Chains A and B, each alone.
Chain A
Amino acid sequence: MHPLFRTPNRVIAMLVGWTLFSAGLSALVGGIADVPPWHGLALYTPTYFLWLLFLIPNYYLCRALPLDRGAWSKVIGTQTLILVVTGLIWALLARGYALILDSLAPSIPALEHFSQGLFTNLVIFACGYEFFVLLHYLLIALERGRDLEQAALQQELLTSKAELRALRATIHPHFLFNALNALANITDSEPAQARHFCLRLADFLRYSVAYADRPTATLGAELEHVENYLSIERERFGQRLCTVIEADEILLPTPVPSLMLFPLVENAIKHGIDSCIEGGCLELRANAEKNRLHITIGNPVDELGHQRQGTGSGLISLRQRLKNRYGEEASLHTSREDNSFIARICLPLPEPQAAIK
Chain B
Amino acid sequence: MAKREPINCLIVDDEPHARQALQSALARHPELAVIGLCENGLQAVKAIHEQRPQLLFLDVQMPKLDGFDVLELVQEQIPFVIFVTAYDQYAVQAFEANAVDYLLKPVDPKRLAQAVEKVVARVGLEEPSSLQSLLADPARESELLRRILVRDGSEVHVLAVDTVRYIEAADDYVAIHTADTTHIKLDRLSRLQKKLDPRLFCRIHRSYLLNINFLARIESESKDSRIAILTDKRELPISRSGYGNLQKLL
A interface, CB within 8 angstroms of B: 173-174, 177-178, 180-182, 184-186, 188-189, 235-240, 274-277, 279, 302-306
| Inter-chain contact A236/B63, CB cutoff 8 Å | no
| Inter-chain contact A239/B16, CB cutoff 8 Å | yes
- Residue from the list A181, A239, A306 in contact with B18, Cβ < 8 A: A181
- Residue from the list B41, B106, B158, B160 in contact with A181, Cβ < 8 A: B106
- Residue from the list B21, B63, B160 in contact with A306, Cβ < 8 A: B63
The answer to the question of B87 belonging to the interface, with a C-beta cut-off of 8 Å to chain A, is yes
Known: A186-B17, A189-B24, A240-B14. 9 other contacts (CB 8 A): A174-B86, A180-B106, A181-B105, A189-B20, A274-B63, A276-B63, A302-B64, A304-B160, A306-B64
- Chain B contacts for A173, CB-based, 8 A: 87
12 A–B pairs (Cβ distance < 8 Å), ordered by A: A177-B86, A177-B87, A180-B106, A181-B15, A181-B18, A184-B105, A236-B17, A238-B16, A303-B160, A304-B64, A306-B65, A306-B66
| Inter-chain contact A302/B63, CB cutoff 8 Å | yes
Beta-carbon contacts of B158-173 to A below 8 Å, as 1s and 0s?
1010000000000000
- Residue from the list A177, A186, A277 in contact with B63, Cβ < 8 A: A277
Distance from A310 Cβ to chain B, minimum over Cβ atoms (Å): 15
- Chain B contacts for A277, CB-based, 8 A: 40-42, 63-65
Q: How far is the CA of A235 from the CA of B86 in the complex (A)?
A: 15
For A178, give the chain B residue with the smallest CB separation. Answer: B86
- Chain A contacts for B15, CB-based, 8 A: 181-182, 185, 236-238
The answer to the question of B29 belonging to the interface, with a C-beta cut-off of 8 Å to chain A, is no
- Chain A contacts for B65, CB-based, 8 A: 277, 306
The answer to the question of B122 belonging to the interface, with a C-beta cut-off of 8 Å to chain A, is no
Distance from B248 Cβ to chain A, minimum over Cβ atoms (Å): 30
- Chain A contacts for B24, CB-based, 8 A: 188-189
Nearest 7 pairs of A and B residues by beta carbon:
A184-B106, A185-B17, A238-B16, A185-B21, A277-B64, A177-B86, A181-B105
Beta-carbon contacts of B1-39 to A below 8 Å, as 1s and 0s?
000000000000011111011001000000000000000
- Chain B contacts for A177, CB-based, 8 A: 86-87, 105
The answer to the question of B147 belonging to the interface, with a C-beta cut-off of 8 Å to chain A, is yes
Q: How far is the CA of A236 from the CA of B20 in the complex (A)?
A: 12
**Centre residue among B61, B63, B106, B147 by max chain A CB count within 10 A:** B63
Q: How far is the CA of A240 from the CA of B42 in the complex (A)?
A: 15
- Chain B contacts for A189, CB-based, 8 A: 17, 20-21, 24
